[in-house]
Amino acid sequence: MKTPEQEKNDTYEEDFLKWDLASLSKEIKENKLSPVEVTKRLLEKIAAEDGKYNAFITVAAEEAMEQAKRAESEIQAGNIRGPLHGVPIAIKDNIYTEGITTTMGSAIFKDHIPDHDATVVKKLKEAGAIILGKLNMHEVAFGTSGDRSFAGPVKNPHDLNKITGGSSSGSGAALAASLCYGALGTDTGGSIRIPASFTGTVGMKPTFGRVSNFGVFPLSWTLDHVGPMTKTVHDNAILMNVLAGYDENDPYSIDKATEDYTALIGSDINGAIVGVPSSDFFKGGDPEVEKSYLQAIKKFEEAGAVIKSVNLPDMEEILAAFRTTLTSEAYTVHEKRLQDFPDLWDDEVRTRLVTSKDTHVTQYVDAQQVKRQAIREFEGIFEEIDLLITPTVPILPVNIGEREIILNGSKIHSSLVLNRYTGPFNITGLPSLSMPCGYSDKGLPIGIQLTGKAFDEANIYRFASVLENRLSL
């Protein structure tokens, strides 16, 4: 029989596995929790529970324990590197990790072991974070559902029959199941924000060029973003502080000073102007999504923000330009592999890639013209508002493998719906965050998307923290 003290300790251990990153960091810094013990318990939890979710492809248990021991020794000696020191983080499996298999969710790369770390992984290690392993993902990141991987589909912890969204499917699932305290994802058309929405987590797609893509396997050079995924808004800003910064190894990296992305959290938004797209924007999405969206708008208004209806540029034209850019660049990235490994692809992913080869160069050039015009038009919009608010995804998570859905009374492929509100902000490069704003009647998470002007991530976190506090989900 356990003593009351033993039972108390067991509860404490169970509870800290569910904590947010900031809470864990504080206890570690004060030597109230051991990074070694936390990592050990978390690895045990992954071994016991991830069979239900399939969030991890590779668990780097030995490496993680070595890093935890090193972190614990440094912290006990008073050499604290920052809030990520001793905190277990997991990495999407298209982000290179030296000496640890990086598969891109593809059988083609199932034995691929990089000889270097991606810049973002290097930054995490320098900050003292513990790398737990590599997270499952939609094959080569080319998909919004998250259920196509050589390692099998990722299952949504809120309903194991539902998709997590993709392509950062494992990142969303691991956080929702408390298998890590933070995760890295990549976002080419919504691949951080869609799974964040569907798993009830927080995901930031930073401004294009704000976070280095060096050492990240590309899908679309001009649309790819790396960003943080976390349980809370504050956690996300903490992680963003480590990831952001210029990198000369990334040709798309922008040399602009970083800032403390937590600095404005807790500030009020009284008098700030929140832009809401005009009434024709929602176009008959799921009523439960619309209900949560309208509730979030009301919460901003109650916090003192001024709600302003705005006319957006032609979003259908921008979305089409985004999709042309994505498919053209994705086919170019994988053209040789399609020829060399015709039988190692998931059929759906291969078909999408092969179909893309028929895009004419004039279509790609036209798409770039639309992109430039869209950037200019959004610059004008953000001269009049401080934040733009939209749903993250128009629908609730669908069943794994489901592709045909009913929207506005018509059948439509889910891939044409899932990135409808996210893709335009990849081609414009604007920072965009998804955070929880409610749940459906059946308990499925619903996300809200907050978008700001270029390099305005700290301000987005300000608004997000206000909404998070007022919703109290």
Say how far apart CA 268 and CA 243 lie, in whole Å. 26
Say how far apart CA 41 and CA 367 lie, in whole Å. 49
Say how far apart CA 145 and CA 191 lie, in whole Å. 9
Residue type, 236: N
User: Cis ω on the peptide bond leading into residue 149 (within 30° of 0)?
Assistant: no
pLDDT of 358 reads: 85
pLDDT of 6 reads: 42
Say how far apart CA 126 and CA 82 lie, in whole Å. 10
Residue 116 lies in a domain: yes
Residue 254 lies in a domain: no
Reported pTM = 0.96
Q: Where residue 186 falls among pLDDT bands split at 50, 70, 90?
A: very high
Residue 59 lies in a domain: yes
pLDDT of 2 reads: 36
Q: Where residue 405 falls among pLDDT bands split at 50, 70, 90?
A: confident
If you average pLDDT over residues 244-266, what whole number do you get?
97
| Residue 207 sits in the same domain as residue 293 | no
The yes-or-no answer on residue 110 being catalytic is no
Distances, alpha carbon 219 to alpha carbons 94, 223, 329, in Å: 10, 8, 7
Compute φ and ψ for 362, nearest 5 degrees.
-65, -30
Residue 326 lies in a domain: yes
161 and 397 Cβ atoms separated by less than 8 Å: no
Q: Where residue 292 falls among pLDDT bands split at 50, 70, 90?
A: very high
Indicate if the pLDDT at residue 458 is higher than 90.
yes
163 and 397 Cβ atoms separated by less than 8 Å: yes
pLDDT of 12 reads: 56
Domain end call among 243, 264, 283: 243
Residue 60 lies in a domain: yes
Residue 2 lies in a domain: no
What pLDDT, in 10s, does the model give residues 306-337?
999 999 999 999 999 999 999 999 999 999 99
β-pairing verdict for 432-439 and 387-391: unpaired
Give the domain CATH number at 446.
3.90.1300.10
Say how far apart CA 153 and CA 53 lie, in whole Å. 8
What pLDDT, in 10s, does the model give residues 79-93?
999 999 999 999 999
If you average pLDDT over residues 272-301, what whole number do you get?
91
| Residue 163 sits in the same domain as residue 31 | yes
| Residue 235 sits in the same domain as residue 284 | no
Say how far apart CA 340 and CA 108 lie, in whole Å. 10
| Residue 331 sits in the same domain as residue 397 | yes
What pLDDT, in 10s, does the model give residues 340-356?
999 999 999 999 999 98
438 and 297 Cβ atoms separated by less than 8 Å: no
| Residue 229 sits in the same domain as residue 345 | no
| Residue 60 sits in the same domain as residue 152 | yes
Give the percent of the chain with pLDDT over 90: 92
| Residue 182 sits in the same domain as residue 58 | yes
**77: Cβ contacts below 8 Å, ≥ 6 apart:** none
Domain end call among 187, 221, 243: 243
Count of the separate structural domains present in the chain: 2
Indicate if the pLDDT at residue 4 is higher than 60.
no
Residue indicated by tokens 């949504």: 156
pLDDT of 14 reads: 62
Domain end call among 227, 243, 259: 243
What pLDDT, in 10s, does the model give residues 94-150?
999 999 999 999 999 999 999 999 999 999 999 999 999 999 999 999 999 999 999
Residue 263 lies in a domain: no
Q: Which of 23, 169, 178, 191 is catalytic?
A: 191
Indicate if the pLDDT at residue 363 is higher than 50.
yes
Three-class DSSP labels, the chain = CCCHHHHHHHHHHHHHCCCCHHHHHHHHHCCCCCHHHHHHHHHHHHHHHHHHHCCEEEECHHHHHHHHHHHHHHHHCCCCCCCCCCCEEEEECCECECCECCCCCCHHHCCCCCCCCCHHHHHHHHCCCEEEEEECCCHHHCCCCCCCCCCCCCCECCECCECCCCCCHHHHHHHHCCCCCCEEEEECCCCCHHHHHHHCCEEEECCCCCECCCCECCCCCCCCEEEEEECCHHHHHHHHHHHECCCCCCCCCCCCCCCCCCCCCCCCCCCCEEEEECCCCCCCCCHHHHHHHHHHHHHHHHCCCEEEEECCCCHHHHHHHHHHHHHHHHHHHHHHHHHHCCCCCCHHHHHHHHHHCCCCHHHHHHHHHHHHHHHHHHHHHCCCCCEEEEECCCCCCCECCCCEEEECCEEEECHHHHCCCCCHHHHCCCCEEEEEEEECCCCCEEEEEEECCCCCHHHHHHHHHHHHHHHCC
| Residue 219 sits in the same domain as residue 302 | no
The yes-or-no answer on residue 220 being catalytic is no
| Residue 239 sits in the same domain as residue 302 | no
Q: Which of 106, 145, 167, 178 is catalytic?
A: 167
Parent domain of 44: 13-243
Residue indicated by tokens 């004039």: 362
| Residue 388 sits in the same domain as residue 297 | yes
Say how far apart CA 254 and CA 208 lie, in whole Å. 8
What pLDDT, in 10s, does the model give residues 256-286?
999 999 999 999 999 999 999 997 777 778 9
Which token pair is 19?
Answer: 């904590």
Residue 131 lies in a domain: yes
Three-class DSSP labels, 206-258 = CCCCCECCCCECCCCCCCCEEEEEECCHHHHHHHHHHHECCCCCCCCCCCCCC
Say how far apart CA 335 and CA 131 lie, in whole Å. 32
The yes-or-no answer on residue 92 being catalytic is yes
If you average pLDDT over residues 186-191, what whole number do you get?
98
Mean pLDDT of the chain: 95
| Residue 219 sits in the same domain as residue 278 | no
Compute φ and ψ for 255, nearest 5 degrees.
-80, 85
Q: Which of 92, 123, 125, 453 is catalytic?
A: 92
| Residue 77 sits in the same domain as residue 224 | yes
User: How far from the centroid of its chain's Cα atoms is residue 112's Cα?
Assistant: 23
